[in-house]
Amino acid sequence: MKEFTYTALPSRVIFGPGKLASVANEVATIGANRALVLCTPQQRAQAEQVGALLGDKLAGIHDGAEMHVPIESARAARAIATDLDADCAVAVGGGSTIGLGKAIALDSALPIIAIPTTYAGSEMTPVYGITENGIKTTGKDVRVLPKSVIYDPELTYSLPVGMSLVSGMNAIAHAAEGLYAKDGNPVMSLIAEEGIRALAAGMPVLLETPNDVDARSQCLYGAWLCGSVLGHVGMALHHKLCHTLGGSFNLPHAETHTIILPHAMAYNSLAAPAAMARIAHAIGAEDGPTGLYALARQLGVPTALRNLGIAETDLDRACEIALSNPYWNPRQIEAAPLRALLQRAWEGSEPR
């Protein structure tokens, strides 16, 4: 067995259908009394539901969360938190809303309670991202890690099935890369395999019955585990490539992860055979990369970059950008195979 160092992040998780009702208790548990509820304009109704449950612990609702956390929106939210004399933030939403909470916490140390409504996993990580002048800067600071997380599967019923499935594939990507992480450890590998299994079991059910409480619970449970892997160990080729494509070509986050995942796994498969075996086992396939591709086809999620609006003529530049910033990966990152990976992902052909 290889040597490892494992530092667990502090985490309090409340899980179950209807657990949203415990939000006021969670505010009290973290020692706070005046909560600013954060959401996007699209999720205002869910935020108001949270506000009603908070009762006299509600300081106000701010529905200004946006994708990629522009610095202006972070500053505006910080000012509102100060004006309302809030002593905690309750972020109800996906990675963008939780990201806004993190941006406030970074400056003010305001504790966050996260109520995730997608499978992106930000609530389990000390990583934040803020966009200034079109450039997204990410960093790591344990102050932005939510103090408490409420996972209530009932809040995910309103997430359209298509978005749920790409969000689930995004979560699987965290666990898949965690299985071969340079700083990985046996505990995170157990969590990663179980997270992939739960999502791969739950997602096909959502196609037929989007409000199936067991399937929604499986998916959210899987998202928690996969998010935890993302929070604890370093990512490699897959996440860097998605960051490049998202940032430089403005491609949608979860869809990009969904398309790249089988191809990034195929790129690394010979260098990380144990990880591939665990992925295959978790999804009930013979092979990890082709099994993930088959799962994507079965779910009917996007499998070709060309359908996201990136031109074939952009692939050379994407490859150059991805090569310009070296990082650790189980297999060396080289121009020709990376360009071939991008070509296959663009066409939507089988990974190899």
Footprint on this chain of ligand NAD (rule: CB under 6 A)? 40, 42-43, 67-68, 93-97, 99, 117-118, 120-122, 125, 127-129, 155-156, 158-159, 167, 230, 253-254
Residue 237 CB, nearest distance to ligand NAD (Å)? Answer: 17
The residue number with the shortest CB distance to ligand NAD is 95
Cβ proximity to ligand NAD, 220 vs 280, nearer residue: 220
The single-letter DSSP state of residue 284 is T
Dihedral of the CA atoms 210, 47, 223, 349 (nearest 10)?
60
CB closer to ligand NAD, 93 vs 222: 93
- Provide the minimum distance between the beta carbon of 117 and ligand NAD in the complex, in angstroms, as a whole number: 3
Alpha-carbon 23 to chain mean position: 22
Minimum CB–partner distance for residue 9 and ligand NAD (Å): 12
118 or 268, CB closer to ligand NAD? Answer: 118
CB 240 to ligand NAD: min, Å: 13
Cα–Cα distances in Å, from 200 out to 7, 27, 164, 251? 28, 33, 12, 24
30 close to 147: Cβ distance less than 8 angstroms = yes
The answer to whether the CB of 14 falls within 8 A of the CB of 31 is no
Of 158 and 343, nearer to ligand NAD (C-beta) is 158
Kindly report each contact of residues 141-144 with a partner whose C-beta sits within 8 Å and lies 24 or more positions away, as own/partner. 141/106, 142/9, 143/105, 143/106, 143/109, 144/101, 144/102, 144/103, 144/105, 144/106, 144/112
Residue 31, SS3?
coil
Q: Which is nearer to ligand NAD, 127 or 280 (CB)?
A: 127
Helices (H) and strands (E) in the chain, counts: 13, 8
The CB-of-246 to ligand NAD minimum distance in angstroms stands at 7
Select 128 or 293, whichever has its Cβ closest to ligand NAD: 128
Q: Give the nearest distance from C-beta 352 to ligand NAD in angstroms.
A: 28
